[in-house]
Structures are given as structure tokens and as C-alpha cells.
Amino acid sequence: MAKLPVVSGWQAVRAFERAGFEVRRREGSHIIMGKSGHAATLSVPDHRELKPGTLRALLRKGGLSVEQFVEMLGRSGS
């Protein structure tokens, strides 16, 4: 099992975009993301560092494993 990475809110947003999510809107300090065919929306805080529980909840809600998320983080602009 991959270790949960320490990431900023924008790094998480970029990784979720690579997984097929798109930014729908911004509400205060949160970026709201959605995915066609996926009922849940993600509310990613625009913080310098996401707390582990927050990131884990976003991954669960987005249907990604830690391994998949780490892979999306590692991908260059594709």
C-alpha cells in the first residue's frame, strides 16, 4: 500500500483533473470539482497542505485509491 502523500490543494486538484474530474466552480477557499457520470462532487480546500484525513476523504469520495492518486500526481501534464 502506498503512503499517503503530503500535497497542497492545487496539487490535489491537478491530480483529480488527470483522473477525469473538472473544476466546476470556486466557493471561498474551496475548489468544487465534479465528474460526468459520478454522483459525488469534491470540495478541495485551497490550502498549502491538506490534512491526511481530508485527503483520504476526498480520495474515498472520488473513488480513487492512494496508489491511483499517487500515479496521477506523478503524471506530467497529460
Domain containing 59 — which CATH number? Answer: 3.30.920.30
φ, ψ dihedrals at 49, nearest 5°:
-145, 125
Q: What angle do CA 60, 63, 66 make, to 5 degrees?
A: 65
Does 7 have pLDDT greater than 90? yes
Structural domains in the chain (count): 1
Q: What is the mean pLDDT of residues 58-64?
A: 96
Across the range 40-54, mean pLDDT stands at 96
Asked whether residue 4 carries a pLDDT value surpassing 70, the answer given is yes
Question: Looking at residue 75, what is its pLDDT?
Answer: 75
Question: Residue holding cell 483533473?
Answer: 17
- For 46, the domain range is 9-73
The confidence score (pLDDT) of residue 77 equals 54
**Assigned domain for 46 exists:** yes
**Residue 69 near residue 59, CB atoms below 8 Å:** yes
Per-residue pLDDT band at 74 (split at 50, 70, 90): confident
- Torsion angle (degrees, nearest 10) of CA 57, 74, 31, 3: 20
User: Can you give the pTM of this predicted structure?
Assistant: 0.90
